[in-house]
Structure 1
Amino acid sequence: MNITNRTVFIAGATSGIGLELARRFAAAGSTVIVGGRRTDLLDQIGAEGFATVAIDVTDQASIDRARDTVLDAHPDLDTIMTMSGVMIPEDLRDPAHFTVAEKSIDTNLLGTIRVIDAFTPHLIARGAGTIITVTSGIGFLPFPVMPSYAASKAGVHAYSEALRAQLDGTGVEVAELVPPAVATTPEQAQLNPHALELAGFATEVMDLLRTDPTPHEILVKGVLMHRWAERDGTYDELVAQRSRALAMLSGRQ
């Protein structure tokens, strides 16, 4: 995809990776519409010059309103990115974890599907466009502390593959962004010294998009160990290493 002349709507871009990529697309010359739930953050982002729209990906009516608002103002919209997501620890030995599981699946997987469904007819009617889903290295190499997050992101990966196959021949392309751990705040950098620095991650993503217009998967170097763990024979060892973090859950030693 030519990142210099797109009209991009990013759902879930009021902070972190989504906001950084919104700024990068805008700096490259594209028009960017930022969507999110928090109106206070949307107001701040609007002050930077971005078009903004309120959207809650767990609420179909909110999604429909956002779609209508975006398409009324930007009928040339050609790129959708589904960034919205939650990442919450859960202890599967405690039945109360199911609330976390429901929220994770509803936001990360069903929220992605809802947003895609809302905009796919527009993109098909154009005969061209790009859908960028966002998964995670954890979808390929689970982090046992966050099982439903891993399941939801693995689900988005499988859905992306099927979506690409079903949209073949329509002119609508599907790319999957697979981030590793990215430190979006100084606190996160302290908690996980292995997390990538946000600016460096975003730079690598944009460089990959310049090199390969619409790759099936957008893989920065830092996520390759996750993505190819099974192929490389390192999966069991790495999952065992990551399982040590289970000690952080309440009541575990």
Structure 2
Amino acid sequence: MQITGNTILITGGGSGIGRGLAEAFHRRGNQVIISGRRQSALDEVIAANPGMVGYTVDMADKADVAEFASRVIAAHPALNAVINNAGIMVDEDVVGSDYLETAEATIATNLLGPIRLIAALLPHFQRQPKAAVLTVSSGLAFVPKASTPTYSATKAAIHSYSQSLRYLLRNTSVEVIEIAPPYVQTFLQGAHQASDPNAMPLDAYLAETIELLASEPASGEILVERVKRQRFAEATGNAQAVFDFINPR
């Protein structure tokens, strides 16, 4: 995709990878719109990046997503890109507790949220000379983390959905790009992850990702080197070994 001159919406832009991508695109002269659940987190990012705009939205709420999309399009008619980054990742004790509520919330936020937002934005995007829909999956889409079964499943679904969407929009002005991060130092699962030496440093991940976005890979997938072992585990015959590494017995 073009990485300058966009009006780009980034969900989950108040922290982690979402904030990092928002700031990276902001530095490159894009009009950046961020969204999230907490106004205070958005205000902090906007204060550090004058010119950004922020909106609160509950990505698990069907009506709120539709209203949010209409509001953003009305306020920013040049909108031509979205990064569906918002997500939750919660461990599920499937043996010892009632985990269904967590599973349902994860599906609503991580899978239905992006599908609903994309559906609301697509008619507008198809009227733009050039537009881009970006989805954020995960290395866990390809080899799951067993303690987060629904999170891993939603990311596998996002990968599949992105493949189909890319095919269906191939003759339109809308490009479909999937970003599949590895394990990265963010607060997605708390402070431990943010400082875990086994996770990829956030700044390094962002730098490599922006470089790949600018290079426009033919596959439509943004894969930093660190995630390729997971992405291609099945093809290389290493699926069980990678699964055992992620899920020590």
TM-score over 0.5 for the pair: yes
| 1:37-52 mapped onto 2 (5 Å cutoff) | 37-47=37-47, 48-49=49-50, 50-52=52-54
Q: State the Cα distance separating 1:215 from its structure 2 match.
A: 5.0
Q: Secondary structure at the match of 1:169?
A: coil
- State TM-score, norm by structure 2: 0.93
Q: Check whether the contact 1:175–1:218 (CA below 8 A) recurs between aligned residues.
A: yes
Q: Distance in 1 between matches of 2:247 and 2:172?
A: 43
Q: Distance in 1 between matches of 2:219 and 2:59?
A: 25
- State TM-score, norm by structure 1: 0.91
In structure 2, the residue matched to 1:34 is: 34
In structure 2, the residue matched to 1:60 is: 62
In structure 2, the residue matched to 1:21 is: 21
In structure 2, the residue matched to 1:11 is: 11
Q: Distance in 1 between matches of 2:245 and 2:55?
A: 41
Q: Distance in 1 between matches of 2:212 and 2:154?
A: 25
Q: State the Cα distance separating 1:152 from its structure 2 match.
A: 0.5
For the pair 1:188 / 2:193, whether they are aligned, the reply is: yes
Q: Which amino acid aligns with 1:239?
A: F
Q: State the Cα distance separating 1:188 from its structure 2 match.
A: 1.8
Q: Distance in 2 between matches of 1:125 and 1:42?
A: 29
User: Per the alignment, do residues 214 and 238 of structure 1 end up closer, same or farther by CA in structure 2, a change over 3 Å counting?
Assistant: closer
| 1:1-253 mapped onto 2 (5 Å cutoff) | 1-47=1-47, 48-49=49-50, 50-94=52-96, 96-184=98-186, 187-190=192-195, 192-212=196-216, 215-244=219-248
1:53-75 deviation per Cα after TM superposition (whole angstroms, max 9, x unaligned):
11111112222222222112211
Q: Secondary structure at the match of 1:225?
A: helix
| Unmatched segments (≥5 aa) in structure 1 | 246-253
Q: Distance in 1 between matches of 2:244 and 2:152?
A: 15
Q: Check whether the contact 1:53–1:69 (CA below 8 A) recurs between aligned residues.
A: no
Q: Which amino acid aligns with 1:143?
A: K
State percent identity of aligned pairs: 38
Q: Check whether the contact 2:13–2:42 (CA below 8 A) recurs between aligned residues.
A: no
Q: Which amino acid aligns with 1:122?
A: H
Q: Would you tell me which structure has more helix in proportion to its own residues? A: 1
1:37-87 deviation per Cα after TM superposition (whole angstroms, max 9, x unaligned):
101112222323211111111112222222222112211111011011001
Q: Distance in 1 between matches of 2:10 and 2:20?
A: 11
Q: Distance in 2 between matches of 1:12 and 1:195?
A: 20
Q: State the Cα distance separating 1:241 from its structure 2 match.
A: 2.7
Q: State the Cα distance separating 1:95 from its structure 2 match.
A: 5.2
Q: Check whether the contact 1:209–1:215 (CA below 8 A) recurs between aligned residues.
A: no
1:92-118 deviation per Cα after TM superposition (whole angstroms, max 9, x unaligned):
223501111111111111111111111
Q: Check whether the contact 2:11–2:34 (CA below 8 A) recurs between aligned residues.
A: yes
Q: State the Cα distance separating 1:207 from its structure 2 match.
A: 0.7
Q: Secondary structure at the match of 1:41?
A: helix
Q: Distance in 2 between matches of 1:27 and 1:92?
A: 44
Q: Which amino acid aligns with 2:161?
A: Y
